[in-house]
Amino acid sequence: MTSLSHYDLFIVGGGSGGLAAARRAADYGVQVAIAEPASLGGTCSARGCIPKKLMVYASGFSQLFEDAVGYGWSKSDSQFDWQKMIAAVNHEVQRLDKLHADSLKTAGVSLFRAKATFVDSHMLEVRGQKITADKILIAVGGKAIKPDILGIEHALVSDQMFHLPEQPNHLAIVGGGYIGVEFAGIMQGLGTQVTQIIREDMILKKFDEMIRTEVQNGMIQHGVHCLTNTEVTSIEKMPEGLQLTLSNSSHKIVNAVLFATGRTPNVAELRLENAKVEIDRQAIAVNEFSQTNQSHIYAVGDCTNRVQLTPVAIAEGRAFADTVFGKRHCRVNYNNIPSSVFSNPQAAFVGLTESEAQQQFGVDNVIAYCTTFKPLFHSLTDRDDTASMKLVVDKKSDRVLGAHMVGEYAAEIMQIVAIAVTAGLTKADFDATMPLHPTSAEKFIML
C-alpha cells in the first residue's frame, strides 16, 4: 500500500530559488520538504554560473603567463590538462551539493533525491510515494534547447561542456547570447580554436551598443573567428569530424559544435495539467507574489516568464516565504538588476542602455558619458586590450539611468556601481566622489 505524507510546504526543485525558499520557510517554523533528482543548487551550482566561472578562471592563465614576461618573469612552458580541470570543477560541484544538503538537514528540511510529479492540484508523487502539502512551490528552473535540424543529435548543449572527456581542437559555437559568448572566451583561452556562428551581425542582442561592439571586437582580437549573419542548417558526422552546412551553402569541419541558442522552462515532465496550473508561453504564469492560478501553488525562478538570473530566483524564493509564511507581502523589484558576461573581454551593466533611455525619456533628454582607455596593467604587456565605460544620464534630473563597462573586473566594479544607480544618484554625485587612484574603477568618477 502506498504511503501518504503531508507537509506545510513542498518544493519541487532544488535550485537557487527552491533552496532559498526552503531555508527561509524553515526559519518560520514551517515543515518543509524538497524534491530534486539532480545536484542541489540547480543550474547555477551544477551546470552554469559556478562551474563556468571556474572555467573562466582556468582560461585566463594562458594570458597571464604571457603578460608576466613583460614584468620580468621568464617565459612559461606550462601545459594545460583538460581532464584535470574537468575533474577539479566537478569535484567542486559535488562539494557544493553536499554543502546544500547539509544546510537543508540543519534547517530541518526533508530532502527527496527524486523527481516529483503532480497527481492533482493537492497531491504529488515522488518515487512511488504520495505527498500532499498545504502550499506547493515549483522551482524547477530551465533547460537548454536545440533547434530541429538534420544531425542535431551530434551537437552539444552547455550542460555537457562540463563533462567532455577530451578537449576539442576546433569548436564551433552557435549563438551570440551570453552563454555562447562566455564559452567562446573560455575555450579560446584554453587553447581550442573557436568559431562563433551568429545569425545577426553582432553578439549580445539586448545589450548596450558599446558592450556589443567592444566585446565582439575583443573576442576577434583574442583569436575567436566570428561568422556573422550565418546559421547552421545541418550537421553530418564525417571521418574527419563534424561537417556543418551553413546558410550561405558553405561547409565547415569541426571537432565539436555547441548550440547556445536558448533555454526553456523545465516544466514538461511535471504533469502540470493534472494540477490545472496555467502555462503562459511555455512558462508557469504567476502574479507579483509568485502565485499561480491555483491559490496554493506558487512558482519562482527560470520556470516562470520573468528575469532568468540566479540572484533573482533567490530573491523570489525568499519573497515567497516571507509573504506566505511571514505575512509580510514582499515583492521583488526587477528594476536595475546588474548583469555580467564573463567573456574575454568581460562586460557588465546595470540599468538602461542608451537606446532604452532614449526611447523612454526622448533622444534629446539623454546624454551618454563615455571613455575608452588602456588599463595600467597593460602598460608593460604586449597586449592592446582596452577598457570602455559609459554612464547614461537623464539631462533633466541628472540621474544616472544606466552604467556599462567592458574590461577586466567589470563585474566586480559594476556590483558597486549598481548601488549608486539603484539609489537614484546623479552624475553630480558621481563627480563629487573622490576617486581611488590608480584604478580602472575611478574612470566612472571622472567621466
Q: How confident is the model at residue 224 (pLDDT cuts 50, 70, 90)?
A: very high
Query: Annotation-wise, does 182 bind a ligand?
Result: yes
Domain boundaries of the chain, sorted by first residue: 4-144+264-324, 152-261, 346-446
Model pLDDT, residue 4:
84
Judged against a pLDDT cut of 90, whether residue 2 lies above it is answered with: no
For 225-242, the pLDDT digits (tens) are: 999 999 999 999 999 999
**50 is an annotated ligand-binding site residue:** no
- Percent of residues, the chain, with pLDDT higher than 90: 98
What CATH code is assigned to 4-144+264-324?
3.50.50.60
How does pLDDT run across 14-63, given as a tens digit for each residue? 999 999 999 999 999 999 999 999 999 999 999 999 999 999 999 999 99
Q: What is the mean pLDDT of residues 417-426?
A: 98
Class of domain 152-261: alpha beta
State the sign of the Cα–Cα–Cα–Cα dihedral 312, 317, 321, 327: positive
Is residue 204's pLDDT more than 80?
yes
Same fold, 4-144+264-324 and 152-261: yes
Cis peptide before 345 (omega within 30 of 0): yes
Mean pLDDT in the chain? 96
Is 302 labelled as part of a ligand binding site? yes
Query: Is 334 known as a binding-site position?
Result: no
pLDDT at 307: 92
Q: What mean pLDDT is predicted for residues 77-87? A: 96
pLDDT tens sequence across 99-148: 999 999 999 999 999 999 999 999 999 999 999 999 999 999 999 999 99
Residue 3 in this model has a pLDDT that exceeds 70: no
Say if residue 1's pLDDT is above 60. no
Judge whether 101 and 94 are in contact, CB under 8 Å: no
What CATH number has the domain spanning 346-446? 3.30.390.30
Residues making up the chain, counted from first to last: 447
218 marked ligand binding residue: no
- The residue written with cell numbers 493537492 in the block is 122
| 210 pLDDT above the threshold of 50 | yes
Q: Quote the CA–CA distance of 333 and 435 in Å, as a whole number.
A: 30
Q: Is the peptide bond before 438 cis (omega within 30 degrees of 0)?
A: yes
Annotated catalytic residues are: 437
The answer on whether 18 is annotated among ligand-binding residues is no
Cα dist from 431 to 42, 241, 390, 424, whole Å = 42, 56, 14, 14
Range 338-354 average pLDDT: 98
